[in-house]
Amino acid sequence: MGKTTPGDPKAKSKLTVRGDRQRHTPRLAPGQSSLPPQTAIILDSIADGVFTVNHEWHITFFNRAAEEITGIPAAEALGRPCCEVFRATVCETACVLKQTLETGKPVVCQPIAILRSDGKEIPITVSTALLKDEHGDVVGGVETFRDLSLVEDLRREIHRQYRLGDIISKSPLMQKIFNLLPDIARTDSTVLIQGESGTGKELVARALHNLSRRAQGPFVAVNCGALPDTLLESELFGHMAGAFTDARRDRRGRFAMAEGGTLFLDEFGDISPALQVRLLRVLEERTYTPLGSSKSFKADVRIVAASHKDLAQLVVEGAFRADLYYRINVVKLTLPRLAERKEDIPLLAEHFIERFNKLQNKKILGLNYDTLAIFMRHDWPGNIRELENAIEHAFIICPKGLIQAEHLPDQLRRESQPALFPEGLSLKEQEKRLLWEALERHGWRRMATARELGINKNTLRRKIQGYGWVPPDAGHPKKLSR
């Protein structure tokens, strides 16, 4: 190759990298690609978008998939600065390709969004790497990207199928409730919702209200366990001025506030026997009388009661009136514990992560594998509320990316330690123990156990038979032995 002299136009295309070695980074005319034809043909045949840039950030190659995803022809993209063509949400603040060129480290499958030529924002994942010549010198960068629009549409469709109001679940136990709610909502029947604290009783009550003919009316919630009798009675029925000390003016109660809508009585099992009598009359006659008043008012209100206590057992113990129980127990819904619907944990976690991202203006991508495994093993005594709190805690500590085990609350973090098996157990014996523990956690319900373990139900059945275990519904299971 001949030497160049000062002023020679060819000299402008040379850039010294290290020592005396030089490489060519030709200045491209618009529409001109720098890659060999054979390489371009190969890259044009793949479904992912690919483009390359030189050290001046000018695009030197733009494949057909990149054209389709961005809506910009290669002829218009080549030779232009990449930020003018590939309009991503991170271009100005945290360019992933710039990060790779500065650190030499590739980026793999980072989710971002870009703006197409028609102004539509679409979700993609990007991966980056250094672009080197035949001498191993860096001549620019390469970025591949995948259109996630279809994936996002499918995800939304799945969420639509597994969502009712603000309730998210794909558990068969919850799906049965989902199927019942529209039919229950069409009536004005009183509903009793039972379930442990944190299982979403108020969300179910709100869903009932929103599906009913009363949806345009108010939804009023009262925590019956949070107030003493005297205050709760005034809170529910209202009072007239002078009805008791400090009652200087008339006050409307929650029954009046809920007129034409739904009144949600939470922790209904904590109501005292004296107040139970008054509520029984309201339910029977659909009228109420404010404290200090001689006038009764009609109650056009749908009552939804909820309790974490077993009201039927309280009736047996004499702690709750049987007549009020049977009056309130027209339709009964029992919500399962989160430990009974662990297949919902990934969906719920994604929902909370999406919500906290918006509230805290963060970009947490999700849970890493270890964290999800911890979540699936945990019993969640606090149910969905505990899961939400765990993710909120992780958001405080996790700066970005995936939530790791180290970002979890202390109790969950301790569970991140690998399970300790007795010394000398073989892999088969360890599998046997894990299988037994999973069956015990789910009360020997095979479908739930198979879902947690990520195996087919037929595989689980064969393993149970192979170990000679007898499920409880067929007799007492054999004790696990080494």
CA nearest to 138, candidates 23, 217, 244: 23
| The pLDDT of residue 247 | 61
- What three-state secondary structure class fits 86? coil
Q: Is 115 exposed, middle or buried (0-12, 13-18, 19+ CB in 10 A)?
A: middle
On the question of pLDDT at 305 being above 90, the answer is yes
Q: Are 388 and 198 in contact (CB under 8 A)?
A: no
| The pLDDT of residue 160 | 62
Exposed e or buried b per residue across 173-186, where buried means at least 16 C-beta atoms within 10 angstroms of its C-beta: bbeebbeebeebbe
CA 205 from chain centre, in angstroms, equals: 21
| The pLDDT of residue 458 | 83
pLDDT tens readout for residues 332-353: 999 999 999 988 998 899 889 9
Summary count for the chain: helices (H), strands (E): 20, 18
Distance CA(220)–CA(202), nearest Å, equals: 11
On the question of pLDDT at 221 being above 90, the answer is yes
CA angle 133, 134, 135 (to 5 degrees): 90
| The pLDDT of residue 227 | 84
Backbone angles phi, psi at 109, to 5 degrees: 50, 50
CA angle 5, 9, 15 (to 5 degrees): 80
| The pLDDT of residue 361 | 86
Backbone angles phi, psi at 175, to 5 degrees: -60, -35
Using the structure block, give the residue that is written with the tokens 């999800």.
Answer: 372
Kindly report the pTM of this predicted structure. 0.59
Q: For residue 7, count other CB atoms closer than 10 A to its CB.
A: 7
pLDDT > 70: percent of the chain? 82
pLDDT tens readout for residues 409-448: 988 887 665 544 455 556 677 677 778 878 877 778 888 8
Q: Which two tokens stand for residue 362?
A: 């963060």
Distance CA(464)–CA(398), nearest Å, equals: 41
What are the start-end ranges of the H helices in 221-310?
Answer: 229-237, 254-257, 273-285
CA angle 138, 139, 145 (to 5 degrees): 95
Q: Which two tokens stand for residue 174?
A: 């919850």
Distance CA(329)–CA(316), nearest Å, equals: 15
Mean pLDDT of 301-312: 94
User: What is the pLDDT confidence band of residue 220, given thresholds at 50, 70 and 90?
Assistant: very high
pLDDT > 90: percent of the chain? 30
| β-pairing verdict for 401-403 and 364-367 | parallel
Q: Are 49 and 85 in contact (CB under 8 A)?
A: no
| The pLDDT of residue 248 | 66
pLDDT tens readout for residues 67-100: 999 999 988 888 888 888 888 877 777 788 888 8
Distance CA(133)–CA(25), nearest Å, equals: 10
Amino acid at 179: N
* DSSP letter, residue 435: H
In DSSP terms, 192 is beta-bridged to 305, 332
Q: Is 94 exposed, middle or buried (0-12, 13-18, 19+ CB in 10 A)?
A: middle
Q: Are 324 and 283 in contact (CB under 8 A)?
A: yes
| The pLDDT of residue 249 | 76
Q: Which two tokens stand for residue 460?
A: 């689980």
On the question of pLDDT at 134 being above 60, the answer is yes
| The pLDDT of residue 23 | 37
| The pLDDT of residue 84 | 85
On the question of pLDDT at 365 being above 50, the answer is yes
Q: Are 350 and 366 in contact (CB under 8 A)?
A: yes
Q: How far apart are the first and last CA of the chain?
A: 77
Q: Which two tokens stand for residue 295?
A: 């006038």
| The pLDDT of residue 204 | 94
H-run or E-run covering 84: helix 82-85
Q: Are 342 and 451 in contact (CB under 8 A)?
A: yes
Distance CA(214)–CA(185), nearest Å, equals: 9
Distance CA(176)–CA(181), nearest Å, equals: 9
Mean pLDDT of 18-41: 52
Q: Which two tokens stand for residue 170?
A: 């794909």
| The pLDDT of residue 426 | 63
Mean pLDDT of 224-238: 85
User: What is the pLDDT confidence band of residue 159, given thresholds at 50, 70 and 90?
Assistant: low
CA nearest to 147, candidates 128, 124, 127, 126: 124
User: What is the pLDDT confidence band of residue 158, given thresholds at 50, 70 and 90?
Assistant: low
Using the structure block, give the residue that is written with the tokens 């045949």.
Answer: 45
On the question of pLDDT at 27 being above 50, the answer is no
Q: For residue 33, count other CB atoms closer than 10 A to its CB.
A: 21
On the question of pLDDT at 207 being above 60, the answer is yes
| The pLDDT of residue 294 | 78
User: What is the pLDDT confidence band of residue 326, given thresholds at 50, 70 and 90?
Assistant: very high
What are the start-end ranges of the H helices in 308-445?
Answer: 311-317, 322-328, 345-360, 369-377, 383-397, 410-414, 427-441
Instruction: Output the CA torsion sign for 384, 173, 340, 190.
Output: positive
